Amino acid sequence: MDGYAHIAIDGPAGSGKTTVAHALARRLGVLYLDTGAMYRAVALLSLRARVDPHDESAVLTLARERPIHVSVDESSPLGFRVFAGEHEFGGELYGNDVSRVVSVVAAYPGVRALMVERQRAIADAGPVIMAGRDIGTVVLPKAPTKIFLTASVEERVERRLAELAARGNDVSRPALRAEIEERDRLDATRATAPLRAAADAVEIDSSGATIDEVVERIAALARPQA
Ligand code: DC
């Protein structure tokens, strides 16, 4: 295989991993997938179907009936396309209503098993940069390059505020901070595949760094496959 193999980029909400992963993918000419979008699709599916996100078996039934699948496609706005059954989701995956409940559905082992299976199938097809929470630990434990990207809570709140404002969403700073802290707590303490750095991951703190700086650092670490 030529070029880069698999690059795993994990980290908490707002650490900049999706922006960095997408920019890195363009820079290296590799495909990119934000796996968080798949969990968001399950959350959105349950909201749209009026299935209570806290009802684990109902969410799992729905995820089996309307399978989430993704295709990596650099020419699409996100860099990949997300479908539930025949229906394609877009920017609505990143709305606040989805953000509020996504950690709940992402904690279900049955949902995770479905998503991990699809993520591995994509990785089996060729080189890809995957951003998420458990890519280096669970999905691609053999990835030659693993990054754990962090940033201070303050910086993550400011980034997310700016992102939401750009989309016309108005959220208060204290409410957003509480939401990010709660999401960190749920992601880090869940029983299945909690958010943590793989033992062989390189930890990068993106606080105060530009996207380009972080991309350059990772590009320098990325090992081309022999
Ligand atoms: O990165 P994000 O904020 O879009 O992720 C949405 C949710 O999905 C978040 O609660 C963590 C979860 N997630 C996960 O559990 N495993 C992944 N590989 C990616 C995201």
User: Domain residue spans in the chain?
Assistant: 7-221
Number of H helices, E strands in the chain: 8, 8
Average pLDDT over residues 51-70: 96
Distance 226 CA to ligand 1 centre (A): 31
The C-alpha atoms of residue 64 and residue 26 are separated, in whole angstroms, by 33
Cross-strand pairs, 218: none
CA distances to 16, 21, 93, 94, 208 from 213, rounded to whole Å, are 12, 13, 28, 25, 10
pLDDT digits (tens, 9 = 90+) for 205-218: 999 899 999 999 99
- Give residue ranges with CB within 6 A of ligand 1: 13, 35-36, 39-40, 102-103, 106, 132-135, 183, 187
Helix, strand, or coil (residue 81): strand
Most ligand 1 atoms within 8 A of CB, residue of 17, 35, 105, 185 to mutate: 35
- Least confident interval from 11-20, 93-102, 160-169: 160-169
Contact assessment for residue 195 and residue 132, using Cβ atoms and an 8 Å cutoff: no
pLDDT digits (tens, 9 = 90+) for 98-154: 988 999 999 999 999 999 999 999 999 999 999 999 999 999 999 999 999 999 999
pTM, to two decimals: 0.91
Read off φ and ψ for residue 222, nearest 5 degrees: -65, 130
Indicate the CATH number of 7-221 among 3.90.1650.10, 3.30.230.70, 2.40.50.90, 3.40.50.300.
3.40.50.300
How much is the mean pLDDT over the chain? 91
